[in-house]
């Protein structure tokens, strides 16, 4: 081998070695880089799943195994109050208020004669006796009592007064709601609860009407569902005035709570012994996909807007970052209206006409939302923060065929009995509703009654679920 050849070989070898050395370096560089990336991704996945795991542990979506629970065994204390609930505009018929105005303007189904309760209330009180309830929650219609501003209709006041006497003579305790979604057109035209200065009209009305009845009526609900009223009317556009602005809805909700606080203090001043609260709809929001952080974020936001803000107003005098001082501690009891939970994602339907999602094992009710009695327990957890008695002021189901209502009723009562046994201070249950009635945006299509109503001839017929309720009550009233 010549010296030249060996030098060339050596050079080649050195060059090869250098190339392979560089390649090795490059490879290990890329290897380290991709390991770093993998590490970063791994850490992100770990953090994400720990966070989601933690959220799942902290906020479980409880589901009971109903097949293995005997809901026929229900134990309630003797002092428990059994009731049913209605609202003036949904049953009375021929009102002239913000709702009838909205029904006409939006071409909605008209409430018309509703259940013609204004003319048939004596007979309807007999239905209460037939059921065996010891209390009846109903509302008085501001637009009947003050149809024009400052114009007081003594005849209408007298009818409500007669209703109260009739109930008491039958051993049924009245619970009156002062505002259940409807009010006079003159109040609506001034801007209703959207305008803070209008709150005084409502407060004056309540202070004026209260002394007529407060000698005989002890239980008062100032307002029904400030949450539903404001969100359906000002954000979802499905209740009057039909607007679609979340900010307006929040403003109205706050004003309604301020109105509640003012009314509470006025009524307590007029009669310190009366028992005054409000009916709060607690809807539980759960993430649709429990691994999706966006669904969790939406859930937290909605739970705060719908439930947390009102609880915070009552417990801390603060709502949406603003002070509502007179609202703090302004309730002797909290009324709970409980219907369902809503599975939440950032793309929630903007109208209730769209079917809401449900878990595969859940029964979907006619209204499109799932039957979820377990949520009632979770709802009381929100309310327990207030440390005042809970009255279940509404619970029921739309079920024209009455195929779900008996089960629905028994499951919810089972949860309530269980909560009472665990020490939660729940004093009453008012089933929604005594009879089928005008279901607001859904008109007459949704039937919530323990009594079926034939709107052709206004005949009321006790449903099987009504009989079930009747039996449960009579078993406990012995
Ligand atoms: C509640 C409302 C009742 C009744 C019920 C059934 O939100 O207070 O008036 O309509 O829903 O959907």
Task: Give the bridge partners for 343, in sequence order.
Answer: 286
Q: State how far the Cα of 151 lies from the Cα of 140, in Å rounded to an integer.
A: 16
Angle of the 246-270 helix axis to the 199-213 helix axis, nearest 10: 40
Residue 425 confidence (pLDDT)? 98
> From ligand 1's centre to the CA of 280, what distance in Å?
11
- The answer, yes or no, to whether residue 317 has pLDDT greater than 50, is yes
Q: How far is the CA of 74 from the centre of ligand 1 (A)?
A: 26
Average pLDDT over residues 364-393: 97
pLDDT band at 372 (very low <50, low <70, confident <90, very high): very high
Ligand 1 centre and the CA of 1: distance in Å? 103
Pocket test for ligand 1, best of 90, 111, 394 (most atoms within 8 A of CB): 394
Q: Which atom of ligand 1 is nearest to the CA of 281?
A: 7
Chain centroid to Cα 182, Å, comes to 18
- Alpha helices by DSSP H, listed for 92-225, are 98-105, 117-131, 142-145, 154-169, 185-189, 199-213
What pTM does this model have? 0.93
Q: What is the position in ligand 1's atom list of the atom closest to the CA of 396? A: 6
The mean per-residue pLDDT over the stretch 372-400 comes to 98
pLDDT digits (tens, 9 = 90+) for 116-173: 999 999 999 999 999 999 999 999 999 999 999 999 999 999 999 999 999 999 999 9
Q: How confident is the model at residue 1 (pLDDT cuts 50, 70, 90)?
A: very low
d(C-alpha 298, C-alpha 223), whole Å? 27
List ligand 1's pocket residues with C-beta within 6 A: 87, 90, 224-225, 228, 281, 337, 394, 432, 439-440, 448
Please identify, by atom number, the ligand 1 atom nearest to the C-alpha of residue 440: 10
Using one digit for the tens of pLDDT, what is the confidence trace for 391-408?
999 999 999 999 999 999
Q: How far is the CA of 269 from the centre of ligand 1 (A)?
A: 30
Q: At what angle do helices 154-169 and 199-213 cross, to 10 degrees?
A: 50
| Residue 174, φ and ψ in degrees, nearest 5 | -80, 145
Q: Give the model's confidence band at 31: pLDDT under 50 very low, under 70 low, under 90 confident, else very high.
A: confident
Residue nearest to atom 10 of ligand 1 (CA): 439
Gap between the Cα atoms of 396 and 450, Å rounded:
9
**Ligand 1 atom index nearest CA of 224:** 8
Concatenate the DSSP letters of all residues of 273-325 into one string.
TSEEEEEEE--EEEESSTT-HHHHHHHHHHHIIIIIHHHHHHHHSEETTEE-G
Q: Where residue 191 falls among pLDDT bands split at 50, 70, 90?
A: very high
- Tell the residue number behind the tokens 């009995």, with chain if given: 417
Cβ-Cβ contacts under 8 Å for 100 (sequence gap 6 or more): 110, 111
Separation between Cα atoms, residue 56 and residue 1, nearest integer Å: 77
Tell me the per-residue pLDDT of 33-72, one tens digit each, with 9 for 90 and over.
Answer: 888 899 999 999 999 999 999 999 999 999 999 999 999 9
Whose CA is closest to atom 4 on ligand 1? Answer: 439
Q: What percent of the chain has pLDDT over 90?
A: 89
Please give the distance, rounded to the nearest whole angstrom, from the Cα atom of residue 439 to the centre of ligand 1: 7
pLDDT of residue 18: 62
* Average of per-residue pLDDT across 12-24: 62
Q: Whose CA is nearest to atom 12 of ligand 1?
A: 439
pLDDT band at 16 (very low <50, low <70, confident <90, very high): low
Give the pLDDT score at 35.
87
Pairing mode, if any, of strands 451-454 and 459-462? antiparallel
Residue 3 has a pLDDT of: 46
């Amino acid at each position: 081998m010549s010296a030249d050849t060996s030098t060339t070989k050596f050079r080649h070898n050195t060059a090869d070695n250098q190339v392979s050395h560089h390649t090795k370096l490059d490879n290990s560089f890329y290897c380290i880089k991709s390991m770093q990336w993998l590490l970063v991704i791994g850490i992100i996945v770990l953090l994400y799943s720990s966070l989601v795991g933690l959220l799942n542990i902290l906020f479980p979506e409880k589901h009971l195994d109903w097949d293995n629970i005997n809901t026929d065994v229900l134990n309630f204390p003797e002092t428990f109050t059994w009731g049913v609930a209605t609202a003036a505009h949904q049953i009375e018929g021929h009102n002239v208020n913000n709702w009838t105005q909205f029904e006409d303007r939006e071409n909605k189904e008209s409430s018309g004669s509703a259940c013609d309760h204004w003319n048939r209330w004596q007979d309807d009180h007999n239905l209460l006796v037939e059921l065996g309830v010891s209390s009846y929650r109903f509302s008085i219609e501001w637009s009947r009592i003050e149809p024009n501003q400052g114009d007081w209709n003594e005849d209408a006041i007298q009818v409500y007064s007669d209703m109260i006497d009739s109930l008491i003579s039958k051993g049924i305790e009245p619970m009156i709601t002062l505002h259940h979604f409807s009010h006079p057109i003159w109040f609506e035209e001034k801007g209703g609860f959207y305008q803070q200065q209008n709150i005084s009209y409502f407060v004056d009305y309540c202070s004026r009407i209260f002394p007529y009845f407060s000698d005989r009526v002890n239980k008062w609900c100032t307002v029904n569902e400030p949450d539903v009223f404001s969100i359906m009317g000002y954000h979802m556009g499905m209740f009057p005035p039909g607007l679609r602005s979340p900010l307006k809805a929040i403003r109205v909700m706050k004003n309604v709570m301020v109105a509640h606080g003012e009314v509470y203090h006025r009524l307590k001043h007029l009669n310190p012994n009366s028992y005054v609260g409000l009916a709060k709809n607690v809807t539980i929001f759960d993430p649709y996909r429990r691994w999706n952080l966006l669904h969790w974020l939406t859930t937290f936001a909605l739970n705060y807007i719908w439930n947390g803000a009102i609880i915070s107003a009552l417990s801390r005098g603060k709502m949406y970052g603003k002070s509502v001082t007179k609202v703090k501690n302004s309730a002797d009891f909290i009324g709970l209206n409980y219907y369902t939970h809503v599975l939440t994602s950032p793309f929630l339907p903007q109208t209730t006409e769209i079917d809401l999602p449900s878990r595969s094992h859940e029964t979907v009710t006619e209204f499109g939302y799932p039957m979820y009695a377990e949520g009632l327990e979770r709802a009381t957890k929100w309310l327990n923060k207030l440390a005042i008695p809970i009255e279940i002021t509404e619970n029921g189901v739309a079920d024209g065929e009455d195929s779900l209502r008996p089960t629905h009723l028994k499951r919810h009562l089972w949860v309530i009995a269980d909560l009472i046994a665990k020490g939660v201070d729940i004093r009453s249950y008012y089933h929604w509703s005594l009879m089928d009635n005008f279901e607001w945006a859904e008109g007459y299509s949704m039937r919530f009654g323990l009594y079926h109503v034939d709107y052709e001839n206004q005949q009321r017929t006790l449903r099987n679920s009504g009989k079930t309720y009747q039996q449960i009550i009579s078993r406990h009233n012995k």
